[in-house]
Amino acid sequence: MPGLIRKSLDAPEETRPFEGDSGQLQLVDSERGPVGRATFHPGWHWSEHVKPIAKTDSCQAAHVGYFVSGRMRVVMNDGEEMEYGPGDFAAMAPGHDAWVVGDTPCVFIDWQGFADYAKP
């Protein structure tokens, strides 16, 4: 394993667009799995813009990441809710819906849950 690795999310190895031009996921690979940066445009809603791709009733990815900008509301299948914003660390279990709150794009860096996200 190399002592140092440098990759840029500005030059991703893979890009996955969301339905309806509502944003995209940019990925770089690491030996521990992909790291991703998702940009969710205002109006993005998982159940409208990713559910048709994933074909599951709710998001089944476990996320561990950091919110760079914007705000996002997440609702677990059991009804638990939380809103995240810039500077927040987030850990989200599988089984949730989410949407952008407000008029600012939401940018989220994820170290765990984007390997199969927005992928059929």
33-68: pLDDT as tens digits = 899 999 999 999 999 999 999 999 999 999 999 999
pLDDT at 1: 64
Q: Which residue has the higher pLDDT, 58 or 117?
A: 58
Q: Domain total for the chain?
A: 1
Q: Is residue 1 part of a domain?
A: no
Is 23 a domain residue? yes
| Predicted TM-score of the model (pTM) | 0.93
Residue 25 covered by a domain: yes
**Eight-state DSSP code of residue 28:** E
| Contact between residue 95 and residue 58 where contact means Cβ atoms under 8 Å apart | yes
pLDDT-derived band at 93 (thresholds 50, 70, 90) equals very high
In a domain, 13, yes or no: no
User: How does residue 102 score in pLDDT terms, banded at 50, 70 and 90?
Assistant: very high
Mean pLDDT of 76-95: 98
Domain with 102, as residue range(s), is 18-71+88-110
In a domain, 79, yes or no: no
Evaluate whether 67 touches 106 at the Cβ level (below 8 Å).
Answer: yes
Q: What does pLDDT average to over the chain? A: 95
Q: Is residue 51 a part of any domain in this protein?
A: yes
3 has a pLDDT exceeding 90:
no
Q: Is residue 78 part of a domain?
A: no
Q: What's the pLDDT tens digit per position in 21-39?
A: 999 999 999 888 899 999 9
Rounded CA-CA distance 112/50 in Å is: 17
